[in-house]
Structure 1
């Protein structure tokens, strides 16, 4: 029996009609949520790794035939198998991940998500990603949204499900730690405290899944076990997909009555639409005015000689133009500290995307 795929409006309508009772849902974000932020998806990495693996093993010219003879080719564990084959030491895997995410900038989807968290629509975000984009967006685009980030098993034990402070729970760890999970063996078990917190949230909330293909057996087995029990996911599980292709493991879960597959245009588009459906205003100010307001305090706090008459006058001018904004970039790149420049680059990247 084919899987019923519901339109995105079905989900946004369900959320907006129950707004007086938020939060009703937790989020689970996968790699697809960070593609617009400049991080390659798992599928894109697999494509690159296949060619690299074939070349290393002496099959650059007949790569496709050689790859298809491998037992992991096209299987859910292919990503993990290739990653371990090409980067066989944990330190190498960690350094590769760091290089993959170091230049990423939070996309508009993350900005809208910060707004939705600030408005109380969501309070807990689980993620299989190693990046820090959501936490970074909270600090860049909100003055009051300060989440707790749990990146390893011991850090989550004391977290209360009903605490008002937002929570970001990294199911696979953080690239800053050696305990990241990426290979088949590393993914064999979801840590006890992580699983327990996932179960607690499932007992109180529904879950919306975005950008996740379901390739981690332990997470999918956990979903399967919880969905068998009517005490979990009281508001259902809504699994968002792009297009009409539903991953096999996701299709298996569709046999449960409280599991729904929803078609969206992407992470950024869906969260922008949801923000609008709920009647919330723009998540941040006019682009270059936002840059001015974010940076004027940083400039006054920088540990080198003042004054910066030209720079600060532009920052305080409500008529600041995109040309002047570009000029600020140059001045800060020359005089600014690394931390300020890095924050500025991320702001500029987002503003330029909006204006372009």
Structure 2
């Protein structure tokens, strides 16, 4: 079973780093320069694809707006049916696309020059540059061609008295000896540019150029990984040579002695190669964490709260903050029209559980681990762990049996504050999904990014009574959709089911269950061949390959299925889902329907009347006759 990578917040990372900031080096990818106005690797791929699409279809580049979803879909469909580029998400996609558009090194250099000319150091660069100037960060590696980080460090250093100034040593491919000397003599701070500098003669962009790392720079990177911990920011892991060098560190002693931190929106957004690297690092005994943070600037904002800087540098950093985006506005004062003009697919949750079972554990655990134990024991329960304390809904005896290795003991109940406690909100969200699927022909699909409910289709050999019950329960939905609710995708033969994405949100002092109708298609995962399995048994686990990922093969079919459903269809579909999700005694739904005294159930009161919205002020649009 695939292990779950530990995740921490940016604030937690900042707390760890503040203890010994010099023990952690930094690795910056193109995403770290996004706020500076320099295109990221992903945006460059989008631009390259658009240029190739226009070239192959004889279309003017000015006619294509890569921010328009229509053009995005057209371009994606084009590349799914051609062999010009690797599949979307492939590590070689960037380099292949770059070389396909600009086959000559001179042209690629000019493109990079033009892109870098747009950039100025952002808040994150100011923070990291100030840390280097204050001698709190020793080493920064980057695959970027821009000079933003060294400019930020030099600017910050110039603000200090002459005796306290610390200007960085900058080493690119044509000056790698500087990096070797800096490492050998511990002459910090160092900025090592693994792919070269935009002013260098040598830069790395294509697959051939990225396949092998400069021997000297590779040595410096590996040695630094044995001296420091490392935090990766804005780096996708697409460079084969860099990932190979990082992976080789895991065979040495000690690898990343002060931790390995990979900044990403979530672990699910990481490329397979990065996930494999982090899992192997954990296996090698490295303290690995995925730092869940959206941008370099947001991470830097948390870091600067924890790390002390000289006052002049602190003022310099804070002067680079963005202006407040919230400004006072005058609210409309005209009376709103009473008739609702917009219907929302959201149901008021009038009442949510206020208490859950409290269970004290002899051995601390995490929520994912506790859920796995409950699932393996086939116990119908909802749990959330907080160290040695656990909150649960379900049968007490079954929960205690499932958690027996942790030494569980019932300790009354725990008050739930879902408004202010995120872990409580997650517990109640899980319970709501369970309750809405109970006694309905629906199956819950739980994912970290959000849960959903899908319709259970007919099964071979099913009892006639159950078939009739399901047909009655789904009659309104079937009429609203006007098509089958389950089946297989034509030509692809993939199973599909209609369903809804579910959300639990607290808005304007009220809990709401949002539901978004969607057609779910079960796309089979790539299977290992016999050759793959035999190779996996021989090769090192650090070298196990990942299958390439492609696009959504059922995307076009799904879009066509929904394209002709207009307001009237949507209104009927929302009606039918609202009825199905709320039918029951007094609108109450329960997660398990426990016998009295056997445990604590999660009971919700859900209204069948969806939310409506109306304009905040009058407009001539609402006086139209058609």
Q: TM-score range by the shorter chain?
A: 0.7 to 0.9
Per the alignment, residue 28 of structure 1 pairs with: 27
SS in 2 for 1:142: helix
What TM-score comes out, normalization by structure 2 length? 0.44
Per the alignment, residue 170 of structure 1 pairs with: 193
8 A Cα contact 2:226 2:253, kept in partner: no
1:9 to 2:7 alignment:
no
Per the alignment, residue 147 of structure 2 pairs with: 132
Per the alignment, residue 300 of structure 1 pairs with: none
8 A Cα contact 1:8 1:270, kept in partner: yes
In structure 1, stretches of 5+ residues that fail to align are: 291-349
What TM-score comes out, normalization by structure 1 length? 0.76
8 A Cα contact 2:179 2:190, kept in partner: no
8 A Cα contact 2:95 2:205, kept in partner: yes
Per the alignment, residue 87 of structure 1 pairs with: 102
8 A Cα contact 1:29 1:126, kept in partner: yes
Cα displacement (A) at 1:65: 2.7
8 A Cα contact 1:94 1:178, kept in partner: no
Following the alignment from structure 1 to structure 2, what is the Cα–Cα distance between the partners of residues 201 and 56? 44
Cα displacement (A) at 1:142: 2.8
8 A Cα contact 1:114 1:145, kept in partner: no
**Structure 1 residue corresponding to 2:271, chosen from 242, 247, 251:** 247
Following the alignment from structure 1 to structure 2, what is the Cα–Cα distance between the partners of residues 33 and 25? 17
Residue deviations 1:4-51 (CA, integer Å, cap 9, x gap) = 3222233222112x33xx410111100011001110111111112111
In structure 2, stretches of 5+ residues that fail to align are: 60-70, 159-164, 326-626
How many residues in Structure 1 have an aligned counterpart in Structure 2? 292
Following the alignment from structure 2 to structure 1, what is the Cα–Cα distance between the partners of residues 118 and 128? 20
Per the alignment, residue 248 of structure 2 pairs with: 225
SS in 2 for 1:265: coil
8 A Cα contact 2:130 2:313, kept in partner: yes
Following the alignment from structure 2 to structure 1, what is the Cα–Cα distance between the partners of residues 315 and 130? 12
1:267 to 2:296 alignment:
yes
Cα displacement (A) at 1:162: 5.2
Cα displacement (A) at 1:121: 2.4
Residue deviations 1:303-334 (CA, integer Å, cap 9, x gap) = xxxxxxxxxxxxxxxxxxxxxxxxxxxxxxxx
Per the alignment, residue 86 of structure 2 pairs with: 72
1:283 to 2:320 alignment:
no
Cα displacement (A) at 1:277: 1.1
8 A Cα contact 1:90 1:178, kept in partner: no
Following the alignment from structure 2 to structure 1, what is the Cα–Cα distance between the partners of residues 297 and 143? 18
8 A Cα contact 1:5 1:261, kept in partner: yes
Following the alignment from structure 1 to structure 2, what is the Cα–Cα distance between the partners of residues 277 and 287? 14
Which deviates more from structure 2 when the two are superposed, residues 53-62 or residues 69-78? 53-62
SS in 1 for 2:182: coil
Per the alignment, residue 314 of structure 1 pairs with: none
Following the alignment from structure 1 to structure 2, what is the Cα–Cα distance between the partners of residues 225 and 286? 39
Larger Rg: 2
Following the alignment from structure 1 to structure 2, what is the Cα–Cα distance between the partners of residues 201 and 64? 40
Cα displacement (A) at 1:355: 7.2
Cα displacement (A) at 1:154: 4.1
Residue deviations 1:51-74 (CA, integer Å, cap 9, x gap) = 110111127585333211325131
SS in 1 for 2:313: coil
Cα displacement (A) at 1:216: 0.3
SS in 2 for 1:214: coil
Per the alignment, residue 147 of structure 1 pairs with: 168
8 A Cα contact 1:116 1:275, kept in partner: no
Cα displacement (A) at 1:229: 3.1
Residue deviations 1:209-243 (CA, integer Å, cap 9, x gap) = 11100000111111112123342211121111124
Following the alignment from structure 1 to structure 2, what is the Cα–Cα distance between the partners of residues 163 and 230? 20
Per the alignment, residue 49 of structure 1 pairs with: 48
Give the 3 Å change call, closer, same or farther, for CA 65–354 of structure 1 in structure 2.
closer
1:105 to 2:135 alignment:
no
CA RMSD, 1 decimal: 2.4
8 A Cα contact 1:91 1:178, kept in partner: no
Give the 3 Å change call, closer, same or farther, for CA 286–88 of structure 1 in structure 2.
closer
8 A Cα contact 2:10 2:302, kept in partner: no
**Structure 1 residue corresponding to 2:135, chosen from 89, 96, 120:** 120
Following the alignment from structure 1 to structure 2, what is the Cα–Cα distance between the partners of residues 286 and 33? 20
Which deviates more from structure 2 when the two are superposed, residues 159-168 or residues 230-239? 159-168
8 A Cα contact 1:126 1:170, kept in partner: yes
SS in 2 for 1:26: strand
Greater length-normalized contact order (CA 8 Å, ≥ 6 residues apart): 1
SS in 2 for 1:9: helix
Following the alignment from structure 2 to structure 1, what is the Cα–Cα distance between the partners of residues 250 and 259? 9
